[in-house]
Structure 1
Amino acid sequence: MSRGNPPAPALRDVTLRDGLQLTGKLLPTEFKIRLARSLLRLGVPELEIGSMARPDLVPPMANTLDVVAGLTPEELERCWIWVATPRHVEKALAAGARNLQYCFSASDAHNQANIGRSTEQSLAAMPEAIARTKDAGGRIQLCIATSFTCPFDGPVAPERVLGIADDERATGADDVVICDTLGQASPGQVTDLVSRVAGETPARRIVFHGHDTWGQGVANSLAAAAAGAAVVDGALGGLGGCPFAPGASGNTSSEDLLFATRPAWLDPAGFGGLVGLSEELLAELGEPNRSKAAQGARSKANAFDWVIPGDRELSGTEAQ
């Protein structure tokens, strides 16, 4: 008997954090808030809207707390902020954030480049980060970057990732995020690691964060979902990458993930609205559109429902 298809994973759009990191341009707060609201109104379940990284090191994140202040509590319930220290947690919660992604790398070399401390130091500080978040009634994720490969040290052993995910100092984390930071993993590797995280570490929601550097972003995300991930990350137009990870390019495209999974809340008109938002953002940034699904939506195959009619002009304002 067939076991049927696994449930479609939910999308977390990370455009406003990981998507913007390498662009070098600080978008106005009002633009970011409008984009976040448009994505939420279209039906995107969750967003990553910024980072507590130092603005002198990651300038596009400089107005993150202004974005948090501009959103309603109801909107913030669906939004995540990247943090790396208990002090980050304190500042984000004080600004009104409710959901925090506490991130560090499985690889010591990348953690030193990205955060300025060892993996052990980051993990040792996690109980304080969890306690502060829970005291404020928030949610916190254990986010493990470089879960497959490190740009400095090469392949990362699965046991390294499993050891972090199973460490008692991460007890209390609501989710675990498994990151293919460099986009070098294959679907088989993703299946194996996510399956082991699901079966050998504490029960919690699994999020897969993939990049499309080697063209495997959608395939890896679907493999992660089949292995137990409930959420997959993507960014509009395939934007993104880590400024401290040589060789990392854009995230898996949100448009490509949504076209592949076609969640119940998405129809062709909504997909067209999403493509319009993406095109508006990319034009503002001067970035190319790396999404194959977005390119398909602008094709001349008008008999296909998911193609945007040629005489229809779309922009982010339609979703508001």
Structure 2
Amino acid sequence: MGALPRRVRIREVGLRDGLQNEAPVATDAKVRLLEALVATGVPRIELTAFVSPRAVPAMADAAGMAAAARAFGDDGPEFSALVASPGGARRAVDAGVTAVEYVVSAADGHSLANVKATTGEALERTAEVARIVHDAGGRLEVIIATAWDCPFDGPTDPERTLRVAAGALQRGADSLAVADTIGTATPGRVTTLIDRIRAELAPQAGRERGAPAAQDLTLGAHFHNTRGAGLACAWAAVQAGVTELDAAIGGFGGCPFAPGASGNIATEELVYLLADSGVGTGIDLDAALAAAALAEEIVGKPGASNLLRAGDRKRASPITGAAT
């Protein structure tokens, strides 16, 4: 366990992961939420997913969301999109989104449910996705889903996760992230896997990029709070050296192809935890709480954010108005 980083970069995934399991939300309502998220100062926002609208109707307006993001120009956050195939990557770059996340599940069961391909088949497609993204001047991050557990296959052998990570780098990924897709990870397992990935793959990352072998591997993490351990896992990841984390405003989210998976860790709760521990994020907590309240209004139901209900200890809750 090393010293805490001075800063963690949060990627806001509420517009994609937060909404993909919900009934489709009107694009103009999503744009209102996008504007509220930009106002928080979050450095990265995942706008949408370029996937089959039949499989995920909530993401059918992907091109419209990409167009809305262009209004913020070059001064806004980094906007990205998730894809599950080379075709999705082409649609993303054609829409002007060149920061792309491609998902490869470490477990065959989830991979077959998610993209109708085995882990090996999905991994092989990484090279084509990377070529499409790089030809457009973009960057590719491979997100390794079910890095710890699969809803169909049970615990994921760490060797499978490591093989996917190594294979993704060999096929052109610029960075990696590990995802606790169904919210079963615990801090000790998080630290163990991240330490192994760093120890075994950081030298490879340097070689793949033509850099010195000691160059650090850019590794992010994505946690769900299904069993209440999401923030603890995020904290363990930070202690293990991860400085890029995903979170969803209001704690919304879940995977349509992973039974039982529920919401992400809430952005506002992650900001509260990190800021109170001396780790900067650049995100305004008041603005994040306001965005979380808007997310609940847009979705039409409460999210899973305790902080939104209770408020920061220095602030009143935007929901109850009560100070804590």
TM-score over 0.5 (shorter chain): yes
Deviations 1:233-285 (A, max 9, x none): 11111100001101111111111101001254657xx3222212211221221
Q: Distance in 1 between matches of 2:220 and 2:294?
A: 28
Is 2:288 aligned against 1:288? no
CA distance change for structure 1 residues 58 and 3 in 2, over 3 Å: closer, same or farther?
closer
- Letter of the structure 2 residue corresponding to residue 271 of structure 1: L
The answer to whether the 8 A contact 2:81-2:97 is kept is: yes
Q: Distance in 2 between matches of 1:133 and 1:151?
A: 30
- Letter of the structure 2 residue corresponding to residue 64 of structure 1: A
Structure 1: which 5+ residue stretches go unaligned?
A: 299-303, 313-320
**Counterpart of 2:188?**
188
- Letter of the structure 2 residue corresponding to residue 229 of structure 1: V
Is 2:276 aligned against 1:278? no
Q: Distance in 1 between matches of 2:91 and 2:319?
A: 47
Q: Distance in 2 between matches of 1:310 and 1:21?
A: 24
CA distance change for structure 1 residues 192 and 248 in 2, over 3 Å: closer, same or farther?
same
The answer to whether the 8 A contact 1:127-1:169 is kept is: no
Identity across aligned pairs (percent)? 35
**Counterpart of 2:21?**
22
If the length of structure 2 is used for normalisation, what is the TM-score? 0.87
SS in 2 for 1:48: strand
Q: CA deviation at 1:21?
A: 1.3
CA distance change for structure 1 residues 239 and 4 in 2, over 3 Å: closer, same or farther?
same
The answer to whether the 8 A contact 2:141-2:176 is kept is: yes
CA distance change for structure 1 residues 168 and 231 in 2, over 3 Å: closer, same or farther?
closer
SS in 1 for 2:82: strand
Q: Distance in 2 between matches of 1:310 and 1:64?
A: 30
| Pairing partner for 1:242 from 236, 255, 278 | 255
- Letter of the structure 2 residue corresponding to residue 250 of structure 1: G
**Counterpart of 2:113?**
113
Q: Distance in 2 between matches of 1:311 and 1:18?
A: 26
Q: Distance in 1 between matches of 2:3 and 2:16?
A: 35
The answer to whether the 8 A contact 1:103-1:145 is kept is: yes
The answer to whether the 8 A contact 2:222-2:246 is kept is: yes
SS in 2 for 1:215: coil
The answer to whether the 8 A contact 1:83-1:100 is kept is: yes
Structure 2: which 5+ residue stretches go unaligned?
A: 206-215
SS in 2 for 1:224: helix
Q: Distance in 2 between matches of 1:21 and 1:122?
A: 21
RMSD between superposed Cα atoms in Å: 2.3
Deviations 1:154-188 (A, max 9, x none): 00011110111112664431210100001101000
Q: Distance in 2 between matches of 1:285 and 1:168?
A: 35
After the TM superposition, which of the residue ranges 163-172 and 134-143 deviates more from structure 2?
163-172
Q: Distance in 2 between matches of 1:94 and 1:172?
A: 20
**Counterpart of 2:314?**
305
Q: Distance in 1 between matches of 2:126 and 2:319?
A: 51
Deviations 1:283-307 (A, max 9, x none): 2212213112222217xxxxx4233
Alignment of 1:113-192 (within 5 A): 113-167=113-167, 170-192=170-192
SS in 2 for 1:123: helix
Is 2:236 aligned against 1:223? yes
**Counterpart of 1:213?**
226
SS in 1 for 2:288: helix
Q: CA deviation at 1:206?
A: 0.8
SS in 1 for 2:221: strand
**Counterpart of 2:59?**
61
The answer to whether the 8 A contact 1:126-1:169 is kept is: no
Is 2:46 aligned against 1:33? no
- Letter of the structure 1 residue corresponding to residue 81 of structure 2: I
Q: CA deviation at 1:37?
A: 2.9
Count, aligned residues: 304
- Letter of the structure 2 residue corresponding to residue 307 of structure 1: A
